[in-house]
Structure 1
Amino acid sequence: MASSEIDQKFLGKLARLVESENPLLSSVLYKILGLSINLSSQLITARKQRRQDGSSGNPPLDLHLHIVWLSREGLLLLDQYVLPSATLKKNVELKILAYKLLASFYHIIVLFHNTPPVTTIGTNTPEGQSTSSVANASDKGKRVAKGNDTYDHGASRSISEGGPVGPPPGFGPQSPTAFLMKPGDYLPLAQQCFKEAIQLAEQHLWGSHSLRLSVKTEYAAFLYECVHDAEASRRLAKETISEVYEATEGIDNDMFNDACELVTVLGKMMKRGLGSNNTLRSKGHGTSNSGSQGTPRIEQIEAQAPVTAPPGMI
């Protein structure tokens, strides 16, 4: 996701690269980097919470609100500062990274804020919470800072009792994140952003380039988690691994290690939802890993111990 270590590496690298000619863009990229690091820890916490509570477990409301707010801020920074400045003529990687991050932030919005909900990860619908949990969490997430401004989004309280009251007649229940972003179905927009990012990556980056792999790895996760098209996710993972093996371009040690890590994740995604005899099942985990210098090979990947998905891949 926007919280992956590979995307963070490119954010830092590109922020340094443009620092002399465009200090404003450089400072915004550093801000997105800091936001991404913060978001990474929040997503890891949400993933741990989900594992502890089971597949239907929801993160605490204050954590949920923080994740949506950080994602919204990332989208605003990209839209207002990065995308207008990113051109293919000046820096191909910056342009592709901007589109990839745009898709990635929308991926998180779909997971935690979408209406109608596409997963059980978030608490973005009143049906996913009890009345008491909403009341208790309203105070926890009452103040969200944005720069030097502070917004009060506490629940409406009746004058006589001082407790939370329901919405006016005819308006129906409101999502607890509605004050941060307009409720709606962001799934088509997220999917379109991924397709644009992939198109750019395929046109301008070779098959083993870690930024290209980052785009396709997250899109495979998006297809499985949000679109619920397991077959398309497995097919994309398989095709992406084939592109890595067919790439003839040389890569440095750092990019090689990143490629090995992502190929490992893609190898697990190839088997996600399949049983040991390749028959469909509800959830699955494959194993594969990385090896030595050059383009990663299947034998090298399988020789090492399994690794976990990059931070934020929930």
Structure 2
Amino acid sequence: MDLFDIDPERLHRSNDGDGGWWDRLIANSPLWSSDGSSAREPFPIIDFEPRQHADEPGAGSTDDPDTDAAGRHAGGADSARGAADSAESDAGAARGDAADAGSRRCTRSSWVVVGCVREVAQELALVPLPDDVDVCLAEAEELLFARDRITCALADRVGRVHRAGQAKQHGHASTRSWLRTAAGMTVGGAGRLLMLGAELPRLPVVREKFAVGELAAGVVEAICAAVAGLTDEQAGLAEPILVELAGKAGAAEVAKAGRHLRAVLDPDGEERDEQADYGRR
């Protein structure tokens, strides 16, 4: 017998000697209502049946089969309402999370984010391809967008490592050598990434548009190549012109315009570039 499953009727029947004692006991008690049922929620005993308030219609002794059936029906309805409320609450939480994404970005550790990206990328590389070719096309476009954002974040970090000379502290001859050794990059790939890391800090508008997805990596590389070797003042003059052109043309057109603009701003730059290329051979 459950010590907390008290049936007032059972107590009445077991005390026939003094039938009025129960009424006197509960007359002034805040725990019981005027009809003899519990006025408060029962003690929360853990079981598999949903809890039912005693003052709800159909509430009564748990020994009554009809009461059990009614309780199960009421419990089922409560469970359904609870599931709906939970789903609505989850949706609201998701909307709140999306609205609060900006503030979370300011407080979330970059190392945690990098770890998540690595884990998801590994999982993505191993997941089977979709059967639908249109789905493959759509997913490829999404992945290209994500790749460019990762390239932006990677360029920021490579640029900082390069400016601090940190690669040499780890036994590498240069930042370019570190990228080729540690990441297995080609000479050209390491050079392009190093160029982005060196030039983007001088191009705040380009860097911002690159980060939010308004400029693709190919266009950004063309702009950075155009200003490489220019002074900060010259780069500041070239940036708005090339950014405006990037909104109307592709990477090839931006690269061509960048070379022309660079020749105007720095007439001797082409000769220096040729000498630098010869020295790297």
TM-score range relative to shorter protein: under 0.3
| The structure with more helix, counted as a fraction of residues | 2
Flag the structure with more relative contact order, 1 or 2, with Cα contacts below 8 A and sequence separation at least 6.
Answer: 1
TM-score (norm 2): 0.27
Instruction: Report the structure number with the largest CA radius of gyration.
Output: 2
TM-score (norm 1): 0.25
